[in-house]
């Protein structure tokens, strides 16, 4: 997702870098970076950890017998819904106030990530079962 954001979405939308992952980590963990570089590292680390969650969701779906597009869609629906609900409950998102553009950017970015997870799992990690 980060590659897609930096190489495609941000140049097209002119959106500045988001620190939503760092905001999330600071809310749920006892961390408080003291420097801009520390906050950037926290943001990148949290982004990677959250991406791992997407992979885990796909792995659970695959373990339950879903593969390919069905597993991508189920994993996306579960993780995306949880992401929006949790961040809203923590006061980090006000998704009801998002514009259509904001919703589209968020949905497309995270769906691209879900597709990439499925492709990596099915083609590289477990190609025999695909």
Interior/surface letters 50-77, b for 16+ CB within 10 angstroms, e for the rest: bbeebbebbbebbeeebbeeebbbbbbe
User: Domain segments of the chain: what residues?
Assistant: 18-125
Range from 3-7, 30-34, 85-89, 119-123 carrying the lowest mean pLDDT: 3-7
For range 41-64, the mean pLDDT: 89
The pTM (predicted TM-score) of the whole model is 0.80
82-118 per-position pLDDT tens digit: 999 999 999 998 999 999 999 999 999 899 989 988 9
pLDDT of 13 higher than 90: no
């Amino acid at each position: 997702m980060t590659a897609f954001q930096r190489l495609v979405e941000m140049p097209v939308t002119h959106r500045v870098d988001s620190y939503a992952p760092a905001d999330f980590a600071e809310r749920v963990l006892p961390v408080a970076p003291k420097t801009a570089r520390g906050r950037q590292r926290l943001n990148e680390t949290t982004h990677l950890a959250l991406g791992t969650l997407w992979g885990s969701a796909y792995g659970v779906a695959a373990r339950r017998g879903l593969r390919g597009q069905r597993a991508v869609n189920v994993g996306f629906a579960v993780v995306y819904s949880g992401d929006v609900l949790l961040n809203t409950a923590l006061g980090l998102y006000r998704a009801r106030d998002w514009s259509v553009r904001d919703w589209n950017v968020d949905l497309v970015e995270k769906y691209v990530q879900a597709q990439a997870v499925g492709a990596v799992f099915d083609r590289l990690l477990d190609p025999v079962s695909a």
